[in-house]
Amino acid sequence: MSAYVLILDDDADVATAAQLLLRRRYGKVATLSDPAGLPALLAQGVPDVLLLDLNFTPGFIDGAEGLALLDLLRAQAQPPAVIAMTAYADVPLAVEALKRGAGDFITKPWDNARLVAAIDQALARRAALRGPAAAAPDLMGESAAMRELKALIAGVAPTEANVMVLGENGVGKELVARAIHALSRRAAGTLLAVDMGALPESTFESELFGHRKGSFTDAKADRAGRFQAARGGSLFLDEIGNMPLVAQAKLLTALERREVTPIGADKPEAIDVRIISATNLEETRLFDPAVFRPDLLFRLNTIVIRVPPLRERREDIPLLLSHYLTHYALQYERPARNVSPAAMDGLLRYEWPGNVRALRHACERAVILGQGADYALSDFGLPGSGAAVDGDEAAAPAWTPPGIASPARTAAAAGDMTLDALEREAIASVLSQFNGNISHAAKTLGISRAALYRKLGKHGI
């Protein structure tokens, strides 16, 4: 999700911790330690979300300084969404902060998931107030396919219908889910994403439905499941096609009854969520009873949205390139450069098997490694970058992440590699084996999906 988040806190350790947590998710995350510098910073550009500490002077815990800043912000023509933060929280202070314009109140030290959820909700509220065009800023593109997709989202979002989003890896299925939520009547509530393919079968019910203290060995306290945590909002069930049939049956029961029973509880609890699901499975496979239960499918696919792959909307590539190259140039403090005509031709002709996600990683690589006055095609690290795209299958290589050698070359050169390089090659090989499927690759590598994403970013894959 692309957003500008500003952290105003005099504690450098706190600000840095928040910045590291949020940078990968939101893109531009800046910090400011002195509130006196806020007006000048706002003059340069208003952040989407401001994380505002309420106390700056040592020994002061009444929040008066932060409340005064809230008054200043409220007077702005287009103020940011504000989330107040303090280590000395009490109910009157929280109420006063909300009265003066804060949208939420976080106590330090914060829970990471709670902080991210608060920012997501703030962004959704801000987008809803600014209208449909601003509600889905990450769905970039003006091609006919994208205009049709945006129109479908705008028509479906205000309803309560369950939506299934179909598309290849990297096309932006989660962005579609977030756009639907942001334009829905539930925008003020939480959009909670769950990677269904990564949930172990042994903890499936606990994760989704919750549990009571003492219901099993490690149940040391009551815990709300994802259905309860998303109450009043939307639940995004990603990688739904990777669920085992046993888990599908349990999910179906919850959806049919509109209630869940936490493990160890005596009574069921009503649920109030809208379901948005997504899968990269081919649509024909979803109708195979050995893969997916037909009765569950009919519960989930009231509305089906098919997200086009990047190769079917090539006219959007220049816009996407401009956005991501500018974004990473700012992030890494590199000079702005143009894409050479030859490079643009190659990028437009490339098949982009990893879709927008692959383009984004290629842009990050180009910004980091490019040395010329303009970006050259080689800067983007595309395998077989001279390959034709008009049906010339012989010229098109099997998918390999940008900048990664083939497994054969990996084996030959392993003796000369560092540990980091070997890790990079191992990840690339497994991704290639599963054609870019993140969930399958993560399982094979024995790490979580989130950890794999971090490693992809670390190695520029």
pLDDT at 295 over 50: yes
- Provide the residue type at 168 as one letter: E
Contact 9, 33 (CB under 8 A): yes
Structural domains in the chain plus CATH codes: 3-130 (3.40.50.2300), 132-308 (3.40.50.300), 312-459 (1.10.8.60)
Mind listing the pLDDT tens digit for each residue in 340-372?
A: 999 999 999 999 999 999 999 999 999 999 999
Q: Which residue has the higher pLDDT, 301 or 418?
A: 301
Q: For residues 104-110, give the mean pLDDT.
A: 83
Q: For residues 74-93, give the mean pLDDT.
A: 77
- Residue 362's contacts (CB-CB under 8 Å, 6 or more residues apart) are 380, 381, 382, 402
What pLDDT does 60 receive?
77
Q: Which residue has the higher pLDDT, 292 or 410?
A: 292
Mind listing the pLDDT tens digit for each residue in 54-75?
A: 888 887 778 888 888 888 887 7
* pLDDT band per the 50, 70, 90 thresholds, residue 278: very high
CA distance 161 to 5: 32
What pLDDT does 407 receive?
41
* pLDDT band per the 50, 70, 90 thresholds, residue 90: low
Q: Which residue has the higher pLDDT, 142 or 311?
A: 311
Secondary structure of 297-354 as H, E, C letters: HHHHCCEEEECCCHHHCHHHHHHHHHHHHHHHHHHCCCCCCCECHHHHHHHHHCCCCC
* Average model confidence (pLDDT) across the chain: 83
Contact 25, 1 (CB under 8 A): yes
pLDDT at 318 over 90: yes
What pLDDT does 339 receive?
94
CA distance 374 to 371: 8
CA distance 366 to 145: 27
CA distance 425 to 433: 12
* pLDDT band per the 50, 70, 90 thresholds, residue 309: very high
CB atoms within 10 A of CB 389: 15
What pLDDT does 127 receive?
65
* pLDDT band per the 50, 70, 90 thresholds, residue 313: very high
pLDDT at 292 over 80: yes
Q: For residues 223-232, give the mean pLDDT.
A: 90
Query: Tokens in use for 94?
Result: 């929280």
Contact 375, 339 (CB under 8 A): yes
What pLDDT does 181 receive?
92
What pLDDT does 399 receive?
36
Alpha helix segments (H runs only) across 370-437: 407-413, 419-433
